[in-house]
Amino acid sequence: MHIQQYFVLLLSLYATASLADYLGPTYPAPIDLTSPHSLVPVAWKNLTNTFDSYLKHHLKNQDTIALEGVENITFSAGLFSIHDPRAKKLQYHYTSQEILNATNGTHNVDGDSIYRIASATKLFTVYAGMLALTEEEWNRPLTEINKAFAAVAEQGDKDPIWHVQWDKITPWALASQSSGIPREGWPFADSLWAYLSNVKYGLPSTNPVTEWGMPPVNASNLGACWNTDGICYGQDAIKSVRSQPPVFLPWSTPMYANDNFMMLGLMMSNITGHTIEDIYQTTLFEPLGLKSTFASVPTSRNDLTRSVIVGAPESGFAILPALSIPSGGIFSSINDLAKFGISILNNTLLSDNTTRKWMKPSIHTASLTYSMGAPWEIIRYIHPSTGKITDLYTKLGDSGYYGSNIVLIPEYGAGFSIINAGTTSSRGDLSNIVLDYITTTILPIFEAQAALEATKNYIGTYVSSDPNLNSSLTIAFNKSRTTPHSGLTITQWISNGTDVLNTKLFAGLKPRLLPSISKQTPDGAKGQVAFQASLVNQLYGYFAPGAAKMGVIGPFTGQYATNYDWLITDATHYAGKGTNLFVFDVDAKGRAGAVWPAAARVRLVRR
Judge contact between 430 and 72, C-beta under 8 A.
yes
The answer to whether the Cα torsion of 51, 55, 56, 62 is positive or negative is positive
Are 410 and 345 a contacting pair, CB within 8 Å? yes
Show the CA angle centred on residue 456, arms to residues 452 and 458, nearest 5°: 110
| DSSP-derived secondary structure letter, 213 | -
Q: Are 220 and 214 in contact (CB under 8 A)?
A: no
What pLDDT is stored for residue 244 in this prediction? 83
Which has the closest alpha carbon to 262: 415, 125, 169, 133?
A: 125
Burial letters for 180-216: b for 16+ Cβ neighbours within 10 Å, e otherwise? bbbeebbbbebebbbbbbeeeeeeeeeebeeeeeeee
- Does the CA dihedral 61-65-70-72 come out positive or negative? positive
Give DSSP secondary structure letters for 278-321.
Answer: HHHIIIIIHHHT-TT-BSS---SHHHHHTB---S--TTSSPPPP
b/e string for 361-375 if b means 16 or more Cβ within 10 A?
Answer: bbbeeeeeeebbbbb
CA distance 389 to 382: 5
Helix (H, G, I), strand (E, B) or coil at 264: helix
Summarize pLDDT for 103-120 with one digit per residue, the tens. 999 999 999 999 999 999
Q: How far is Cα 330 from Cα 261, in angstroms, rounded to an integer?
A: 13
CB 121 within 8 A of CB 404: no
Q: What is the largest CA-CA distance in the chain?
A: 96
List of the chain residues with pLDDT < 70:
1-21, 152-157, 185, 313-315, 480-485
- β-partners of residue 381 are 390
Give the pLDDT of residue 270. 95
- What residue type is 284 in one-letter code? L
Residues 401 and 427 sit within 8 Å (Cβ to Cβ): yes
Any long-range contacts for 219-223 (C-beta under 8 Å, 24+ apart)? 219/192, 219/193, 221/192, 222/187, 222/190, 222/192, 222/193, 223/186, 223/187
Distance CA 236, CA 5 (A): 66
User: What pLDDT, on a 0 to 100 scale, did the predictor assign at position 19?
Assistant: 52
Q: Quote the distance between the C-alpha of residue 74 and its chain's center.
A: 23
Sort residue 387 into left (φ over 0), alpha (ψ -120 to 50) or beta. left
Residues whose CB falls within 8 Å of the CB of residue 174, separated by 6 or more in sequence, listed in order: 181, 260, 261, 263, 264, 267
In 14-96, where does DSSP find H-type helix?
A: 40-55
Tens digit of each residue's pLDDT (9 = 90 or more) over 5-14: 443 344 344 3
- Cβ-Cβ contacts under 8 Å for 50 (sequence gap 6 or more): 63, 64, 67, 437
Identify the structural domains of the chain with CATH numbers, from first to last. 20-34+43-124+276-450 (3.40.710.10), 135-255 (no CATH), 459-606 (no CATH)
Residue type, 188: F
Contact residues for 207 (Cβ-Cβ < 8 A; gap 6+): 195
Task: Tell me the backbone φ, ψ of residue 167, rounded to 5 degrees.
Answer: -75, -5
Q: Which residues pair with 340 in a beta bridge?
A: none
Measure the CA–CA gap between 191 and 366, rounded to whole angstroms: 30
E strands present in 33-145: 74-81, 91-94, 115-116
Radius of gyration in angstroms for the set of CA atoms belonging to the chain, rounded to a whole number: 27
CA dist 590 and 147 (Å) reads 55
Burial 399-426 (b: 16+ CB within 10 A, else e): bbbbbbbbbbbbbbbbbbbbbbbbebee
Distance CA 453, CA 591 (A): 9
DSSP 453-506: HHHHHH-EEEEES-TT---EEEEEEE--TTSS--EEEEEEEEETTEEGGGSTTT
What CA–CA distance (Å, rounded) separates 419 from 113? Answer: 10
Q: Are 338 and 88 in contact (CB under 8 A)?
A: yes
Cα–Cα distance, 158 to 114 (Å, whole number): 47
pLDDT score of 314: 61
